[in-house]
Structure 1
Amino acid sequence: MVGLFWISEDCVYLGAEPTGAAPGVRLTGDGVEILGEGQGGRSWGWSEVRGLDVRDVAVRSAGRRLASMAFDSVVVLFTGDGEHPPLFTVVVETEDDGTVEANALAAVTGGIHTPDEYALSRTLLARLADGTTTVGELVGWRRDEPGDVAPTRDQRLALLRAWTAAPV
């Protein structure tokens, strides 16, 4: 996970990589695909995409994020009742279909992002939509990294900053 992005060796997911009929949004070199049962299974090439954004993402400071995660862990420990990852909304603005909304499952622990990673992720979505950053750049990073090594928080923020600061 880097910000809102689950990056594999061949594509990028907003939130968690969906399995089965779970909802999700996949970004490839060709464009944007909506996945999951009941979400319409639509897709658009990058030339048709006018904008990408997200809503309903849980955002808290690093301290509040840790407190929320600790509380959730205690609740699960005592009740045994874990929740599914929270959903957030992905907004795809298209040339022909207008604005289309889809759900994606949060992949980060607790579903909570810090304000800086949220803001940088939204900037990166805008850059992907306008073509100033490509999915290939994100996928290229993943291919160069060992699959079992997750970047630290500082490394994730540095990656987001690099991908959002590329010259126009």
Structure 2
Amino acid sequence: MAMVGLFWIAEGDVYVGAKPSGLAPGVRLSPEGVVALGDGQSGLHLWEDVRSLTVTDVPVKTVMRRVGAVTGMAWTTVLNLVDPGSGGADDAPGLMTLNVKTATGDHELAAYVAAAVGYSQAETDLSRALLTRLAEGAATMTTTLAAMSEWGRTWEGGSPREAEREALLREWLG
């Protein structure tokens, strides 16, 4: 499993945002189409019907967001020291929205953010360009999604470093 830009790649599966678990919302990009997962959203939007894919509500990594994450961890540690049963902060990760425009209308699909402190601006921009590319047509989608899936099947280890992630996104953009 690895995060590359706004995508979570687990073996051959490609997700926008974090891979969902249980009833959590999520979005999987399959060879057939865009699959809505989780409680409150379901369905398959076939690639032949997809006109565009755009993502909103993406948290971009900033110095203040990093400081906030460190401060939050410190605050949780203090709470746990003062009251070990408190469990500290239990904030759920943020949600992103994947807007899927199809021949039959617009669909908003929710997916949890996978990056704790947000995504770099470069990875966000490259990921958005990649989503646009996936919606360009069957041949483009097939080769791009196949390359992402193949990388996921052969990759061993956690998420690559930021420069490697950006290079992969550029490679998949062709």
Amino acid across the alignment from 1:128: L
C-alpha distance after superposition, 1:54-98 (max 9, x if no partner)? 11111134x3443232122223222311311111111001112x1
* Aligned equivalent of 1:138: 148
Tell me, yes or no, if the aligned pair for 1:10 and 1:28 is still in contact at 8 Å. no
Amino acid across the alignment from 2:109: A
Q: Distance in 2 between matches of 1:13 and 1:75?
A: 32
* Aligned equivalent of 2:84: none
Whether 1:108 and 2:115 are equivalent positions in the alignment is: yes
Q: Distance in 2 between matches of 1:128 and 1:74?
A: 41
- TM-score, with structure 1 as normaliser: 0.88
Amino acid across the alignment from 2:67: A
Larger radius of gyration: 2
C-alpha distance after superposition, 1:104-149 (max 9, x if no partner)? 0011123x11111111110010011113343111011111211x33
Amino acid across the alignment from 1:150: S
- TM-score, with structure 2 as normaliser: 0.85
Q: Distance in 2 between matches of 1:142 and 1:64?
A: 32
Amino acid across the alignment from 2:69: M
Q: Distance in 2 between matches of 1:161 and 1:67?
A: 29
Map 1:81-100 onto structure 2 (within 5 A).
81-96=89-104, 98-100=105-107
Whether 1:127 and 2:136 are equivalent positions in the alignment is: no
The CA RMSD measured in Å over matched residues stands at 1.5
Q: Distance in 1 between matches of 2:170 and 2:28?
A: 21
State the Cα distance separating 1:10 from its structure 2 match: 2.5
Identify unmatched segments of 5+ residues in structure 1: none
